[in-house]
Amino acid sequence: MSREHAASRDGPVDGPPAEGPLSAARIADAFARWGRSVDRTAASRGMTRREFLEHLGAGAAGVAAAGLAGRAAAEAPPRSRVVVVTHPEVLLRQYRANPPLVRQMVDRALAELLGAATEADAWKQIGRADDLVAIKHNSIGWPTLHSHTEINDAVAAQLAAHARVKPDRILAVDRMLPPPYHELSEPFTLPTRSLQTRLRRLYTDHATAIVNVSVLKAHADQGLSAALKNHLGSVNNPAAYHYWEPDRMPRSLPELNALAPLRTKTRLCIVDALRPLYAGGPIDDPEHRWDYRGLIVGTDPVAVTAVGLRILEAKRAEVRGKEWPMAAARQMVAYGQELGLGQADPARIELLEVKMG
């Protein structure tokens, strides 16, 4: 088994996975516990929290010099809104989801996210009639651990109905793209390892808007698949990014998402948390999967990934009876914040919970 597929287990997992969603209060509590843990570690090293997070993302100044400008810390940093919407009846048999309920969940989350008076008004903020929209979903893990295609269908239908985007200009894609969209861009160089990578020209030359639809799962136990990792399906050399050592994916994935074509065109991020995988990964394992029945929706890829991380860590703590952190995933979101790509600190995320049904 390759290193990518070998899950690093931190001892046995005790107890069966429980069903049902965790409340916003539980997620917020997980954020608070994480913050206290960061503060304790920082204090043990004679650092403030900010200094410690800068240490985790070491080299942000060098990144800025390479053209990925880090955002200076402010006394009152901007906050990113993230909506977690759940519905108890959204899942059907054999991994299928209920299409009308998925559409209702996406509509409701988007209206809450954007503060729109109606769902139609919300979709008009995501798409325009002249757009070419790339819905970047995740088909890896088929048939039991991919992002649900019902989400793609809901996004495409509502963009066409409310934003008047032409249906033939809405493309749901992953790694296999039709011509001419599959062609490769000129190389980009990511700062940390001088890694050269090429995006598909769909993202650099053709698409005017991107909807990032990822799936929530542990990856090699300490890493995380969500919005930031989703774009490994958009490059020519995903294997060059692996593995989860501190100078590899925890840094290269935020740097990839900070490239201008992805950063400036991404208008919506949806993390599929209908049936997440809280340990192991990336291969499906029913022992570590549970029916959360939720979607995580935002415009900030770091923030939605950070919220997904807290949901997984809350579940891991529930199963093990003590904290069971995902160290590489924590470093990844902290570095994403340091780059100025989005917000990872719980104090910078406005978390809204919507329970439907």
What are the boundaries of each domain within the chain?
24-355
Kindly give the pairing relationship between strand 223-225 and strand 209-219: antiparallel
Q: Is 154 helix (H, G, I), strand (E, B) or coil?
A: helix
Surface-to-core class of residue 61, CB atoms within 10 Å of its CB (0-12 exposed, 13-18 middle, 19+ buried): exposed
> Interior CA angle at 220 toward 14 and 26, to 5°?
55
What's the pLDDT tens digit per position in 191-226?
999 999 999 999 999 999 999 999 999 999 999 999
pTM across the whole model? 0.83
pLDDT reported for residue 47 = 74
Of residues 48 and 245, more confidence is placed in 245
Residue 20 pLDDT exceeds 50: no
Stretch (H or E) spanning 191: none
Residue 238 pLDDT exceeds 80: yes
Mean model confidence pLDDT for the chain: 86
Is residue 233 within 8 A of residue 136, CB to CB? The reply is yes
Residue 12 pLDDT exceeds 80: no
Q: Which token pair is 244?
A: 């989860």
Handedness of CA 287, 291, 292, 294 (dihedral sign): positive
pLDDT reported for residue 31 = 62
pLDDT reported for residue 58 = 42
Dihedral (C-alpha) 194, 232, 82, 326: value to the nearest 10 degrees? -80
Single-letter code of the amino acid located at 187: P
For residue 94, which of 233, 353, 249, 274 has the smallest C-alpha distance?
274
Using 50, 70 and 90 to split pLDDT, how confident is the model at 262?
Answer: very high
Compute CA distances 346 → 6, 77, 107, 352, whole Å: 30, 12, 25, 13
